Amino acid sequence: MASEFFSGLSQNFSQLLEDADDYNIIIKVGENSNTKEFNAHSNILRARSPYFKRALSQNWVTKKNNMINFAKPNISPTVFEMIISYYWANTTESFIFSLGDGKDLKNYKISRVKNSSYAMYESHYQNTALNFGNSDLVINNNVGTCNQSQYASNILDLNSFTIEEMEIFRFY
């Protein structure tokens, strides 16, 4: 019963993000030709995220015509879309991955585990490697393997790859 309620509430929040007709914040992310604006509700952002609670305090925001304008040029639209949709709609633990080749930080792939019960997976790799998605993504030193059956979108086009830079965000 409670899980049905929270699932419905999660869907309602998701719809608020998609149809933000009474929004009070415009978040511009990215830079140059890779930018996107997101319309959102600052109260929901503050309630769901400690970062936004601080960032949207009276001392840090710029308002124009009763609209908060917030710029994050150091975050790509793809990354921010996944983060904001998580804050808005998801209520279970999940991981979001950002993997880079170290040469160009804008050339990376991002995804998250579809089923949170597979987020961290214990197996024979547990003492030597990071293991996610029921062994779909295994990172040992700077070498990774991925078969992607438990991910929301493709992480990499290759099954085996090297990683020079990696960020893993764990949300509750």
Q: Within this chain, do residues 47 and 119 fall inside the same structural domain, yes or no?
A: no
Q: How many domains does the chain have?
A: 2
Strands 62-64 and 108-112, how do they pair? unpaired
Q: Within this chain, do residues 102 and 133 fall inside the same structural domain, yes or no?
A: yes
Give the pLDDT score at 26: 92
Q: Which of 37, 66, 91 is the last residue of a domain?
A: 91
Q: b vs e for 92-105, b when ≥16 Cβ sit within 10 Å of the residue's Cβ?
A: eebbbbbbbeeeee
Give the pLDDT score at 1: 56
Q: Within this chain, do residues 156 and 114 fall inside the same structural domain, yes or no?
A: yes
Q: What is the residue type of 61?
A: V
Q: Which of 91, 126, 157 is the last residue of a domain?
A: 91
Q: Which of 64, 91, 118 is the last residue of a domain?
A: 91
pTM here?
Answer: 0.53
What residue numbers bound the domain in which 140 lies? 93-172
Q: Within this chain, do residues 147 and 103 fall inside the same structural domain, yes or no?
A: yes
Q: Which CATH number does the domain housing residue 55 bear?
A: 3.30.710.10
Q: Within this chain, do residues 65 and 127 fall inside the same structural domain, yes or no?
A: no
Between CA 116 and CA 134 the distance in angstroms is: 10
Residue 45: alpha-carbon gap to chain centroid: 14
What are the pLDDT tens digits along the chain (172 aa)?
555 665 566 566 666 666 667 889 999 998 899 899 988 888 888 887 888 888 888 777 788 888 999 988 888 887 787 677 766 665 444 555 555 555 554 445 556 666 655 555 554 445 566 666 555 666 666 666 666 665 655 555 555 555 555 555 554 4
Cβ-based neighbour number of residue 130 at 10 Å: 17
Tokens representing 30?
A: 């990215």
Give the pLDDT score at 164: 56
Q: Within this chain, do residues 9 and 87 fall inside the same structural domain, yes or no?
A: yes
Q: Within this chain, do residues 43 and 117 fall inside the same structural domain, yes or no?
A: no
Q: Within this chain, do residues 171 and 86 fall inside the same structural domain, yes or no?
A: no
Q: Within this chain, do residues 100 and 30 fall inside the same structural domain, yes or no?
A: no
Q: Within this chain, do residues 24 and 82 fall inside the same structural domain, yes or no?
A: yes
Q: Within this chain, do residues 128 and 147 fall inside the same structural domain, yes or no?
A: yes
Q: Within this chain, do residues 125 and 65 fall inside the same structural domain, yes or no?
A: no
